[in-house]
């Protein structure tokens, strides 16, 4: 076994603190990655505080993992020692269900083996995430990372990047289309960059006038301050796709009404309470309301390659490991532009 240093929550009410645990020795299909950076996703906080229920403690969060391959198993072909590699939200899945066979492992019918707060394929051994010195993952669930981008800014692509790339691709966003992005945060800022890079005309909807400059820098063509509902109505029936990245309760119908006939609204934020959807908002223009969940391994690799080619990364603030609890507080206040990333050298 490989002794591994990390930071863990010991209970739902405890701050994260140093924690040492064992990783398995790499098997023939495994890659051992020395972790360089790990992003802080809002879902890390939800889970460390057991807000979704069923938390497994001690919990080492982190599923936006990038680093360098330190060792490979005898059957590994995709990686060699020294390569850059990434790990996202899951480290395995059943591999046999229809979703796994379709390369959509995030929808694995047995449930994917999540990167932390879950179990390995034996359904017993807890998984520990990327707030740690190293990780061992089957090469099939390990992503190749280009050396051409700043590594710390690549880390958030493994969750925030694929979460926004997947619905844009799946719904056919391309040149000339009008895309709305609701909320300029961790997900929203990626959505703006990606939709702009795909040729769409991008409008950002935000409650914060102060974010207009960032929105334009990231590629937005227009910026709409949503505190005044009168700003929305002139945009009725305009958008091909609206990506809603807001988790706080808000009125979906106001945005549904901005979609053209057959337009699609995709939820990537996940409000805890059900949203009130007016059937007439859908009926009058045959609009669609849907949602999206990260992406499969094949699509995640496609997204990483696309971002390397288009020079797309996340806006990050790099912090030392010891500041993770402070970063959690700041994330909850929205005081980050747009993702904290932990520098694992500081562990």
Among positions 169-198, residues that touch a copy of itself (CB under 8 A) are 170
Q: Is 104 in the site for a copy of itself (CB under 8 A)?
A: yes
- Cβ proximity to a copy of itself: between 153 and 292 the closer is 292
Q: Is 316 in the site for a copy of itself (CB under 8 A)?
A: no
Packed helices 297-310 and 160-170: angle between N→C axes, nearest 10 degrees: 100
> To 5 degrees, how large is the angle CA 60–CA 63–CA 66?
110
The token pair at 89 is 């939200």
CB of 120 to a copy of itself, least distance (A): 22
Q: Is 279 in the site for a copy of itself (CB under 8 A)?
A: yes
CB of 288 to a copy of itself, least distance (A): 4
Q: Is 144 in the site for a copy of itself (CB under 8 A)?
A: no
Q: How far is CA 20 from CA 17, 36, 69, in A?
A: 10, 17, 21
Q: Is 53 in the site for a copy of itself (CB under 8 A)?
A: no
3-state secondary structure of 46: helix
* Among 124, 175, 227, 261, contact with a copy of itself (rule: CB under 8 A): 261
Is residue 271 a contact partner of residue 288, using CB atoms and an 8 Å limit? no
Among positions 213-252, residues that touch a copy of itself (CB under 8 A) are 237, 252
* Among 125, 280, 309, 346, contact with a copy of itself (rule: CB under 8 A): 280
Binding region for a copy of itself (CB under 8 A) out of 35-43, 145-153, 185-193, 278-286? 278-286
Q: Is 277 in the site for a copy of itself (CB under 8 A)?
A: yes
CA–CA distance, 195 with 184 (Å, rounded to integer): 13
Q: Is 89 in the site for a copy of itself (CB under 8 A)?
A: no
β strands within 60-127, DSSP E:
65-72, 84-87, 90-92, 113-114
Question: Strands 143-144, 134-138: parallel, antiparallel or unpaired by DSSP?
Answer: unpaired
CA–CA distance, 167 with 269 (Å, rounded to integer): 12
Q: Which residues bind a copy of itself (CB under 8 A)?
A: 98-99, 104, 107, 109, 170, 237, 252-253, 261, 267, 269-271, 274-280, 282-293
């Amino acid at each position: 076994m490989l002794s591994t240093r990390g930071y863990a929550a010991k209970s739902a009410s405890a701050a994260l603190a140093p924690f040492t645990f064992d990783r398995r020795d790499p098997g023939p299909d495994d890659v051992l990655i020395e972790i360089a950076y790990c992003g802080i996703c809002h879902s890390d906080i939800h889970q460390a505080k057991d807000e979704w229920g069923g938390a497994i403690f001690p919990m080492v969060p982190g599923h936006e993992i990038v680093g360098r391959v330190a060792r490979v198993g005898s059957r590994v072909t995709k990686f060699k020692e020294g390569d850059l590699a990434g790990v996202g939200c899951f480290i395995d899945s059943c591999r046999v269900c229809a979703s796994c066979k379709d390369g959509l492992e995030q929808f694995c019918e047995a449930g994917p083996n999540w990167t932390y707060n879950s179990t390995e394929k034996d359904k017993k051994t807890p998984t520990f995430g990327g707030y740690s010195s190293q990780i061992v993952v089957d090469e099939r669930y390990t992503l190749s990372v280009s050396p051409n981008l700043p590594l710390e800014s690549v880390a958030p692509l493994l969750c925030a990047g694929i979460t926004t790339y997947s619905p844009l691709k799946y719904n056919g966003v391309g040149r000339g289309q009008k895309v709305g992005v609701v909320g300029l945060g961790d997900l929203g800022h990626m959505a703006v960059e990606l939709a702009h890079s795909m040729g769409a005309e991008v409008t950002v909807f935000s409650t914060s006038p102060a974010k207009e400059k960032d929105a334009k820098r990231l590629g937005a063509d227009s910026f709409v301050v949503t505190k005044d509902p009168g700003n929305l109505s002139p945009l009725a029936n305009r958008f091909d796709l609206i990506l809603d990245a807001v988790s706080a309760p808000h009125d979906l119908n106001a945005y549904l009404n901005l979609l053209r006939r057959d337009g699609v609204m995709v939820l990537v934020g996940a409000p805890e309470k059900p949203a009130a959807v007016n059937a007439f908002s859908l009926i009058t223009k045959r609009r669609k309301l849907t949602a999206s969940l990260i992406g499969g391994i094949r699509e995640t690799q496609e997204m990483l390659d696309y971002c390397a080619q288009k020079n797309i990364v996340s806006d990050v603030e790099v912090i030392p490991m010891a500041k993770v609890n402070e970063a959690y507080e700041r994330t909850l206040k929205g005081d980050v532009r747009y993702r904290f990333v932990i520098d694992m050298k500081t562990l």
